[in-house]
Structure 1
Amino acid sequence: MASNVSGTGQYGARWEAESPWASGWTAAAAVLMAFGGIMAVFQGIAAIAEDDVFVSTRNFTYEFSLTGWGWVHLILGALVAAAGIALLSGATWARAVGVVVAGLSMVANFVWLPYFPVWSIVLIIVDGFIIWALCAPRREYQA
């Protein structure tokens, strides 16, 4: 089993995905996290620069300055990319961190909907897939 989809449990026991599909989805989630995080960093930079590609709405419940949202996406994108790269390198802690940052990314993209709706919906779906893939059931075996 590849090192990026298995981890060491208590007393030297190893964890591996119940099916090859789960381990493949975990690798796909790691790649999506790395790529999505890098794209969120670019999105944050564009928002900080107050680029004209974003829609400006009024009277939005979660109204926040475009620059403020840019910093949120920049920092969160860097965390998501770092967790994705760590998951690809085989770090077992990256699975839990990936679930947390993907959840935060879902929330951030939900409140970002009025600014960039299509991209936000796509990222909400991708983040949902990442959470599912990282929470896939695992079985224990002795090494």
Structure 2
Amino acid sequence: MSATHTPHASSAKYAWAGGLRVFAAVMLGIAGLLAIFRGIMAIAEDDVFVRTPNYVFQFDLTGWGWVHLGLGIVAALVSFGLFTAAAWARYSGIAIAALVIIANFLSLPYYPWWSVIMIAMSGFIIWALCVDRGEDAGVGR
């Protein structure tokens, strides 16, 4: 085999990264949908949430509901863009997942276990979107 056969090797080398993009799209869509539900619950002031009086970042539960609802809607929309392998969606997905991490950190006292789970899930989303280099990987060259 000649050296011109290397695009196939490059393609095989980075093929797993495309799977990570799909993983990130699915997980961002799920995280967005769950954030939408969490936002609706907080806006309705459901009794599911814990109230801690001595937290440094203390905000109104309804305000947090609107924050999570907005982030959830944007995350769900960006996840659809990730299925098309659009570069804007990849960068937006990283930014939205980072905002989800910050929002869940700040709302830890209201729903602690779920906040920790969402922080971890968003970390995996950021990792998957950073590993998938898309067209930059040299696939097919």
Contact preservation (8 Å) 2:28, 2:79: yes
User: TM-score of the superposition, structure 2-length normalised?
Assistant: 0.84
Letter matched to residue 71 of structure 2:
L
Deviation at 1:18, TM superposition (A): 4.8
CA distance in 2, matches of 1:109, 1:77: 12
Q: Which residue of 2 aligns with 1:40?
A: 35
For 1:96, which of 91, 98, 102 is the aligned residue?
91
Q: Which residue of 2 aligns with 1:30?
A: 25
Q: Equivalent residues in 2 for 1:102-121 (5 A)?
A: 102-121=97-116
Larger strand proportion of the pair = 1
Indicate the percent of aligned positions where both proteins have the same amino acid: 49
Q: Specify whether residues 42 and 125 from structure 1 end up closer, same or farther in structure 2 by C-alpha distance, changes over 3 A only.
A: same
Contact preservation (8 Å) 1:17, 1:137: no
CA distance in 2, matches of 1:83, 1:97: 7
CA distance in 1, matches of 2:87, 2:110: 35
CA distance in 2, matches of 1:94, 1:56: 35
Deviation at 1:20, TM superposition (A): 2.5
Deviation at 1:92, TM superposition (A): 2.2
CA distance in 1, matches of 2:121, 2:105: 13
Contact preservation (8 Å) 1:17, 1:23: no
Q: Which residue of 2 aligns with 1:71?
A: 66
Letter matched to residue 74 of structure 2:
L
Structure 1 gap ranges (5+): 1-15
Deviation at 1:109, TM superposition (A): 0.5
User: TM-score of the superposition, structure 1-length normalised?
Assistant: 0.83
Larger helix proportion of the pair = 2
CA distance in 1, matches of 2:43, 2:82: 29
Contact preservation (8 Å) 1:34, 1:80: yes
Contact preservation (8 Å) 2:40, 2:69: yes
Deviations 1:16-75 (A, max 9, x none): 795222211110110011111011001000000000000011021110000000000000
Secondary structure of the residue aligned to 2:131 is: coil
Aligned-residue Cα RMSD (Å) equals: 1.7
Letter matched to residue 48 of structure 1:
I
Contact preservation (8 Å) 2:78, 2:89: yes
